[in-house]
Amino acid sequence: MAEHEAGAKCADLCRKHGMSDGTFYNWKAKFGDMTVSEAERLKTLKGDKAKLKKLLAEQMLDLAAMKELVSKKW
């Protein structure tokens, strides 16, 4: 993005990095105002969120299984 803001043409940047114009503009819309460190932090946070969602789903399954087991015993 910095190269584009410095005056490089979109077509030249896309050819250089092997991507389409659409991909370039999608990335620009999503990450245009971010620094590299902010983008890395966002990626880390998304990974952490996915792990937490998985843990929550597993706990909910365990809870449902326990409830079913208790209801059958009594």
Q: What are the tokens at 71?
A: 């209801």
pTM: 0.60
CA 24 – CA 45 distance, rounded (Å): 23
- List the chain pLDDT tens, one digit each, 74 residues: 677 777 788 888 888 889 998 988 888 888 888 888 998 999 999 999 999 999 999 999 999 999 998 888 66
Task: Give the model's pLDDT for residue 52.
Answer: 98
Show me where the domains of the chain are located: 1-33, 35-74
